[in-house]
């Protein structure tokens, strides 16, 4: 239905365009007449602006030799323009000059237009049709005081204009007429047609350069109205619609038969295509039904070199991924249970430990044992920070917790080491995960500082911002790690190996997992060997402020 509506709108639009195109290419009568009218308008402009003519008409005392000069000018204009048969010049003192001489010319109409100009002061040229005479009037005005002083009249050759009109109409098989501003018929063809009966109100009021659909002797026709060049005259043409739409009808019938043939081909092709598609679709649908019932170990045997073949391959690949994910999920659940068991085994009651350490601190202060008090105070701060249920913290608080942890390690570790921090102000309030740095620091001390004879070990923590990314680096000058372990850590393979799992390795894996779960897979940990022959752990996080 929509196709029919759109098609109908399109054909109507195409029909209008075809009619307009036909009217444009067949409107040679108007083009030829406009060429003549434009030439006459240019000639009149040159004539009325000729200094000798203006001076002669505006001068009350006219000499014989001046008159002869003006006549020769007029004769030249008449000789060089076939459309002009005679030129008249009427002066304000009622003097009239005609070339060629016209003794018996009825000048009443000339003076009527002359006095009309004199009263109105109009500068417009005027066309007049009287008794098969075409007259072209143009007023003369003084350039200084803009006063009217005469009229130039071109008497147009009616036979010449009529000949051009008739020849053009016959050539394009046109029925046409020209009417003046008073709706008087000036020219018409064919001569046996009674156009007065056809000039009703709708035709006469038709806007210029437009057309309407009507009838001519009970046959559908187009009535076209065109304004002639710089006149108030109209050229009205009567064109049979069958003639205007001849090319359109040919295209329409060709397109109609083409569409019918195309529809038959499409229906036949659709029937064949349906047979080749329905069967494999039913087969794939059956596979999907079995998968939905829980059978993940089925596969499609359909082999085709088209979209259905690709769909079959995609279903097989999807089933393979589902099976792998199912196995992986089972493995992850087992590892999660084992990890939770290991963590639980390493825990003690934090409240009992916190209260006990607080008592030890107070006892150490009473007995003057400052180092015990300092260690206890730092451990209490670590416990208080880690007991906070909030998942994230700002970097400044996380660094303070690490410093408290290092204070405890200073008394606990078997080796000496120094700590340095370089935390710019613009990174202190950045969001990090709580208890993120301590497992990495602990891993450094446990695995990197193994030579008890060395006293130059250090841990340096540096933070920076790069392209909306917070970068935290933990640098040490410890024993470093092999390339193999480094690669395994970066792939998180080393910490997944059951033979190498410990609380320290579990901590690294937990940090990596928490970062990627909270911020995304593009963030996390990266291990590499630094210039101190030790290890650098680079942590990347999104640049966000803690709330």
Q: Can the peptide bond before residue 100 be classed as cis, meaning omega within 30 degrees of 0?
A: yes
Cβ 540 vs Cβ 523: under 8 Å: yes
Q: How far is C-alpha 262 from the chain's CA centre?
A: 35
Q: How many other CB atoms sit within 10 Å of the CB of residue 317? A: 10
Indicate the Cα dihedral angle 382, 388, 392, 393, nearest 10°: -50
Interval 446-471: pLDDT, tens: 888 888 888 889 999 999 999 999 99
21-160: what fold? Beta-Lactamase (3.30.450)
pLDDT at residue 247, as a whole number = 66
Interval 96-112: pLDDT, tens: 888 888 666 677 888 88
Q: For residue 427, is pLDDT > 90?
A: yes
pLDDT at residue 127, as a whole number = 92
The values of phi and psi at residue 168, to 5°, are -65, -40
Interval 132-159: pLDDT, tens: 789 999 999 887 777 888 999 999 998 9
Query: DSSP state, 254?
Result: H
Nearest to 109, CA basis, from 85, 130, 136: 130
Q: For residue 532, is pLDDT > 50?
A: yes
Name every residue whose Cβ is closer than 8 Å to that of residue 226 and which is 6 or more positions away in sequence. 27, 30, 208, 209, 234, 235, 236, 237
Confidence category of residue 534, pLDDT binned at 50, 70, 90? very high
What's the whole-number average pLDDT of the chain? 82
Q: How far apart are CA 509 and CA 491, in angstroms?
A: 10
Q: For residue 374, is pLDDT > 80?
A: no
Q: How many residues would you count in the chain?
A: 547
The values of phi and psi at residue 504, to 5°, are -65, -45
Name every residue whose Cβ is closer than 8 Å to that of residue 271 and which is 6 or more positions away in sequence. none
Confidence category of residue 421, pLDDT binned at 50, 70, 90? very high
Residue-range domain boundaries for the chain: 21-160, 388-542
Q: How far apart are CA 224 and CA 81, in angstroms?
A: 30
| pLDDT, greater one: 360 or 512 | 512
Q: How many other CB atoms sit within 10 Å of the CB of residue 179? A: 22
Q: How far apart are CA 416 and CA 11, in angstroms?
A: 94
What would be the CATH architecture of the domain defined by 388-542? 2-Layer Sandwich (3.30)
pLDDT at residue 43, as a whole number = 94
pLDDT at residue 352, as a whole number = 45
At 291 the three-state DSSP class reads: helix
């Amino acid at each position: 239905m929509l196709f029919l509506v759109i098609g109908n709108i399109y054909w109507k639009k195409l029909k209008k365009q075809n009619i307009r195109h036909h009217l444009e290419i067949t409107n040679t009568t108007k083009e030829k007449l406009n060429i003549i009218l434009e030439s006459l308008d240019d000639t009149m402009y040159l004539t009325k602006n000729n200094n000798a003519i203006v001076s002669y008409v505006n001068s009350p005392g006219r000499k014989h030799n001046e008159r002869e000069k003006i006549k020769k000018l007029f004769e030249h204009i008449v000789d060089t323009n076939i459309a002009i048969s005679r030129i008249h010049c009427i002066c304000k003192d009622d003097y009239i000059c005609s070339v060629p001489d016209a003794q018996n010319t009825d000048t009443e109409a000339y003076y009527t237009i002359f006095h009309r100009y004199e009263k109105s002061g109009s500068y417009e040229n005027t066309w007049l049709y009287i008794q098969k005479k075409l007259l072209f009037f143009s007023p003369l005005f003084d350039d200084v005081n803009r006063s009217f002083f005469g009229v130039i009249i071109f008497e147009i050759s009616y036979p010449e204009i009529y000949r051009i009109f008739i020849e053009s109409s016959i050539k394009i098989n046109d029925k046409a007429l020209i009417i003046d501003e008073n709706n008087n018929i000036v020219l018409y063809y064919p001569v046996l047609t009674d156009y007065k009966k056809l000039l009703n109100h709708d035709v006469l009021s038709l806007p210029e350069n437009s057309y309407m659909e009507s009838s001519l002797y009970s046959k559908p026709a187009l009535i076209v109205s065109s304004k002639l060049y710089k006149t108030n005259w109209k050229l009205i043409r009567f064109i049979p619609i069958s003639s205007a739409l001849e090319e359109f009808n040919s295209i329409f019938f060709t397109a109609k038969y083409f569409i019918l043939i195309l529809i038959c081909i499409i229906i036949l092709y659709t029937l064949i295509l349906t047979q080749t598609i329905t069967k494999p679709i039913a087969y794939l649908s059956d596979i999907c039904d079995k998968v939905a019932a829980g059978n993940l170990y089925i596969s499609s045997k359909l082999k085709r070199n088209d979209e259905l073949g690709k769909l079959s391959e995609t279903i097989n690949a999807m089933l393979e991924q589902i099976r792998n994910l199912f196995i992986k999920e089972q493995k992850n659940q087992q590892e999660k249970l084992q990890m939770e068991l290991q963590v639980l085994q390493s825990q003690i009651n934090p409240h009992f430990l916190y209260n006990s350490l607080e008592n030890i601190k107070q006892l150490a202060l009473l007995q003057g044992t400052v180092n015990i008090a300092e260690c206890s105070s730092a451990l209490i701060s670590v416990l208080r920070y880690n007991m906070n249920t909030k998942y994230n913290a700002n970097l400044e608080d996380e660094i303070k917790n690490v410093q408290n942890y290092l204070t405890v390690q200073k008394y606990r570790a078997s080796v000496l080491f120094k700590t340095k921090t370089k935390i710019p102000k613009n990174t202190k309030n950045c969001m990090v995960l709580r208890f993120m740095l301590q497992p990495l620091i602990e891993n450094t001390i446990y695995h990197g500082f193994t030579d008890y004879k060395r006293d130059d070990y250090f841990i340096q923590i540096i933070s920076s911002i790069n392209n909306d990314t917070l970068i935290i680096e933990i640098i040490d000058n410890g024993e470093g790690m092999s390339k193999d372990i480094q690669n395994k850590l970066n792939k998180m393979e080393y910490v997944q190996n059951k033979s190498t799992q410990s609380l320290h390795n579990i901590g690294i894996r937990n940090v990596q997992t928490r970062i990627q779960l909270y911020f995304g897979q593009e963030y996390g940990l990266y291990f590499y060997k630094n210039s101190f022959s030790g290890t650098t752990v680079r942590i990347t996080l999104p640049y966000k402020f803690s709330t």
